[in-house]
Amino acid sequence: MQLGLDLAQQRMPFTEVVDRARFAEGLGFAGVWGFDHFVPMYGEGPGECFEGMTTLAALAMATERVRLGLLVTGLTYRPLGLLASQAITVDHASGGRLDLAIGTAWYEAEHRAFGFDFPPTGARVDLLEDACTILPRLFTEDDVTHAGKRVSVEHATLNPKPVQQPSIPIWVGAAGRKRSLPIVAAHADAWHSFGDVEALSAQSAYLDECCARAGRDPSTLLRSASVSLEGAVDDVRREVDAWAAAGFGYLIAGWPSGGRAKVEEFAPLLADLG
């Protein structure tokens, strides 16, 4: 089991975002995560909110070991070729520490506010399927041509290729059984969803079935969920154990209201997880 920490890059100066990333790295977290939005997601009213991919590029230069990701990147916010190029840039800036987590996006009001198209659900799932096909090819091949349902590329080549070989890991945040989870099973390196152990265990079991239909060993798909650090250490430890017993190998912890002092209480748990 590995633990990542959500930095929540909002309502603070950028120096604090960097300090949190360094703090998490020093404490032993496996990864630091932000979100991919343009307005604050937590709390009330306006406040600072830093763009996700450029934040990761900055954190890449400020850290040495910890992996970096956004939970998750809305595919509606950037052209797919731009996202691929940004991902390669962050991967090089970090020396190969990027986890590229993608999803269909959900926040319609944000799209309207900033002029992003917000297609119907089916079209956004089409976009997810295109991304899961095109991104790995742009990371590993030259002269890529692919006619997708929503995105097509013609003779596209990105250089340099990523530091990570064979490719940058692709995480997918998804819950839909009809199309999204089968896409995860067919393409993703890791899957993240939100819910309790019981609910996500059922989704995970369905993913096993999807993997079997896709001819994939289910054990090759990393399962990830979210965990709160608001409770007592022993209670959180029991929850971590329950997730591990359910076959999950990664948990992303939200930044607690108690701040750094509260996070530091979990140093022994991080040490035990190695």
Q: How many Å apart are CA 64 and CA 60, to the nearest integer? A: 7
Q: Is pTM beyond 0.85 here?
A: yes
- Residue 274 pLDDT greater than 80, yes or no: no
Q: Which residues pair with 154 in a beta bridge?
A: none
Segment 251-264, tens digit of pLDDT: 999 999 999 999 99
Output the 3-class SS for 214-264.
CCCCHHHCEEEEEECCCCCHHHHHHHHHHHHHCCCCEEEECCCCCHHHHHH
pLDDT given at position 45: 78
More reliable by pLDDT, 8 or 264: 264
Please identify, in words, the CATH class of the domain defined by 2-273.
Answer: alpha beta
- Residue 230 pLDDT greater than 90, yes or no: yes
pLDDT given at position 64: 98
pLDDT given at position 42: 81
Q: Which of 175, 83, 93 lies closest to 132, judged by CA?
A: 83
